[in-house]
Amino acid sequence: MAHAVYRCRSCGYQSAKSYGRCPVCSAWGSFESQPASSGGGVLSAPPPLRLADLPETALPRLSSGLDEFDRVLGGGFVPGSVLLLGGEPGIGKSTLLLQVSAQLMRRGRVLYLAGEESLEQVKLRATRLGITGDILLSREMELSAITALLAQVQPYFCVVDSIQTVLIDGSGGGIAQLRDSALGLTQAAKAAGCCTVLVGHVTKEGAVAGPKLIEHIVDVTLYLESAGLFRLIRCNKNRFGPTGELGVFEMREDGLIQVDNPSAAFLSERPFGVAGSVVAATIDGQRPLLLEVQALSTRSPLPNPRRVVVGLDSRRVDVIVAVLDQHLGLPTGNLDLYLNLAGGLRVQDPGLDLPIALALHSAITGQAIPADLAAFGEVGLAGEVRSVSQGIRRGEEAQRSGLRALGPPGVEGARGVRSLGEALRALHPPESSS
Ligand SMILES: Nc1ncnc2c1ncn2[C@@H]1O[C@H](COP(=O)(O)OP(=O)(O)OP(=O)(O)O)[C@@H](O)[C@H]1O
Ligand SMILES: [Mg+2]
């Protein structure tokens, strides 16, 4: 019986099945169906390679010109890699990439494909950002034409703004089309050896419908999001480095400006000497950050008092409220409680338990927490303070901002407390609170 055979146009590898990406030479979309071989379907395979025989290579990196961005990328762009930058409309994707283009045009040709805006709009933005350099612009969004442009211009860096505006044979818009565009662009970019960023629009409701579908195709996935006054870049996937890093920027008239000390920036507006405010030494992804946890309590007229939690995990807050009630004799049954992680971030970190507990205790009792304190630690059901990841880095971040760290026992540089009760006694010694 004749078997269907597929063959890679690029390296000649044959297989009984077709691959989107050749497992041997990594070419994209290179498989074509072949007539069955006369040998009755006997397939050829390249001999396997010995790992030890492969040359050792260090990944070169291209700096984006923004340290905060380079940190998220794991040291900068890897030449020839393909990235996806997702984000809600108006968040600053085009601004960021125009700034990066201006930086990289010093190293080689930069091609910016503007499918979303007229070239006049791009020029206006460039003028506002103070960019005068030689960036090549095009509004050509047909996939075959982009492929030809990449081969012809051989850019060093290319921006496709956006993947949603790329057309295949004159049409665009569908989900399958999006994937095909991403595959085609990736193949063209790899063939041209050009580091390419695909911009992808994400909406709050449809986050999974668009760019999520092409995450597996690209090498690196980045998301730009807003948190209050700030813009954050996160890396969800990185074939060349760690994920979980966070870059913090501020949007100004002259573009996205990196925030060198995010902890200081996020704490800049906190009130002093006010009950309910506590600095938390938290970790967002991989990055230690000092953020203010705020709590407010009021007597509730409702049979089921309100619990309003913003930026924090409300289930953890429920647990902490129960612990305060059971182990510290702090009844909350008739109180409305409001909790907020100031600055607009949403952080999932068990290390926020202790600051949440201290903020709630402070709000309910009216005793302010010392302003030079940064707390961290998980709170267990028995009221014990438990270890959390990266304790030392949390303590160091507190020290960098001139704050005293309070956390679980055994963390160098932090005052250790074994329980919530011990933490409160450390903050409010009996003689000073009477
Ligand atoms: N003159 C200005 N001063 C300060 N900020 C500005 C100014 N003009 C624009 N911005 C900021 O730039 C943002 C738009 O940036 P940009 O066009 O890069 O976003 P985008 O993510 O590419 O948006 P889109 O989804 O429309 O392509 C605005 O939302 C605004 O915050
Ligand atoms: Mg844009």
* Residue partners of 373: CB distance under 8 A and separation at least 6: 278, 279, 403, 404, 405, 406, 427
Q: Is residue 270 part of a domain?
A: yes
Atom 7 of ligand 1 has which residue's CA nearest to it? 253
- Same domain, residue pair 154 and 203: yes
Start-to-end CA span in the chain (Å) = 93
Q: Is residue 121 part of a domain?
A: yes
- Same domain, residue pair 30 and 71: no
Check residue 42 and give its pLDDT: 57
- Same domain, residue pair 163 and 21: no
Q: Are 155 and 108 in contact (CB under 8 A)?
A: yes
Share of the chain above pLDDT 70, in %: 94
Q: What gap in Å lies between CA 270 and CA 195, rounded to an integer? A: 42
Q: Which atom of ligand 1 is nearest to the CA of 128?
A: 1
Check residue 371 and give its pLDDT: 95
Domain boundary among 241, 259, 277: 259
- Same domain, residue pair 119 and 186: yes
Q: What gap in Å lies between CA 237 and CA 160, rounded to an integer? A: 19
Q: Is residue 215 part of a domain?
A: yes
- Same domain, residue pair 277 and 224: no
Q: Is residue 91 part of a domain?
A: yes
Check residue 8 and give its pLDDT: 77
* Residue partners of 17: CB distance under 8 A and separation at least 6: 6
Q: How far is the CA of 205 from the centre of ligand 1 (A)?
A: 21
Check residue 27 and give its pLDDT: 77
Confidence of residue 434 (pLDDT cuts 50, 70, 90): very low
Closest by Cα among 111, 79, 109 to 98: 111
Tokens (6 digits) for 256: 């996205």
The identity of residue 234, as a single letter, is: R
Closest by Cα among 246, 245, 222, 247 to 65: 247
Q: What confidence tens digit (pLDDT) does each residue in 170-204 have? A: 888 778 888 899 999 999 999 999 999 999 988 76
Check residue 272 and give its pLDDT: 92
Of 101-110, 166-175, 330-339, least confident by mean pLDDT is 166-175
The predicted model gives 242-264 an average pLDDT of 93
Domain boundary among 198, 225, 259: 259
The predicted model gives 28-42 an average pLDDT of 66
- Same domain, residue pair 228 and 340: no
> Strands 404-407, 385-386: parallel, antiparallel or unpaired by DSSP?
unpaired
Q: Is residue 391 part of a domain?
A: yes
Q: Are 103 and 240 in contact (CB under 8 A)?
A: no
- Same domain, residue pair 309 and 427: yes
Q: How far is the CA of 90 from the centre of ligand 2 (A)?
A: 7
Would the pLDDT of 207 be above 80?
A: no
The predicted model gives 263-291 an average pLDDT of 94
Check residue 205 and give its pLDDT: 62
Would the pLDDT of 2 be above 50?
A: no
Would the pLDDT of 217 be above 70?
A: yes
- Same domain, residue pair 121 and 253: yes
Q: Is the CB of 115 under 6 A from ligand 1?
A: no
Top pLDDT among 137 and 434 is at 137
Would the pLDDT of 112 be above 80?
A: yes
Check residue 295 and give its pLDDT: 98
Number of domains into which the chain is organized? 3
- Same domain, residue pair 240 and 116: yes
Domain boundary among 227, 242, 259: 259
Check residue 433 and give its pLDDT: 45
- Same domain, residue pair 127 and 219: yes
Would the pLDDT of 278 be above 80?
A: yes
- Same domain, residue pair 234 and 276: no
Q: Is the CB of 193 under 6 A from ligand 1?
A: no
Q: Please give, one letter per residue, the 3-state secondary structure of the chain.
A: CCCCEEEECCCCCEECCCCCECCCCCCECCEEEECCCCCCCCCCCCCCCCHHHCCCCCCCCECCCCHHHHHHHCCCECCCCEEEEEECCCCCHHHHHHHHHHHHCCCCCEEEEECCCCHHHHHHHHHHHCCCCCCEEECCCEHHHHHHHHHHHCCCEEEEECHHHCEECCECCCHHHHHHHHHHHHHHHHHHCCEEEEEEECCCCCCCCCHHHHCCCCCEEEEEEEECCEEEEEEEEECCCCCCCEEEEEEECCEEEECCCHHHHHHCCCCCCCCCEEEEEEEECCEEEEEEEEEEEEECCCCCCCEEEECCCHHHHHHHHHHHHHHHCCCCCCEEEEEEECCCCCCCCHHHHHHHHHHHHHHHHCCCCCCCEEECCEECCCCEEECCCCHHHHHHHHHHCCCEEEECCCCCCEEECCEHHHHHHHHCCHHHHC
Q: Is the CB of 251 under 6 A from ligand 1?
A: yes
Atom 19 of ligand 1 has which residue's CA nearest to it? 92
Would the pLDDT of 253 be above 70?
A: yes
Q: Is the CB of 273 under 6 A from ligand 1?
A: no
Range of the domain at 231: 67-259
- Same domain, residue pair 282 and 156: no
CATH number of the domain that 290 lies in? 3.30.230.10
Q: Are 400 and 413 in contact (CB under 8 A)?
A: no
Q: Which atom of ligand 1 is nearest to the CA of 251?
A: 5
Q: What confidence tens digit (pLDDT) does each residue in 119-143 have? A: 999 999 999 999 988 999 999 999 9
Tokens (6 digits) for 28: 């994209």
Q: Is the CB of 211 under 6 A from ligand 1?
A: no
The predicted model gives 159-180 an average pLDDT of 88
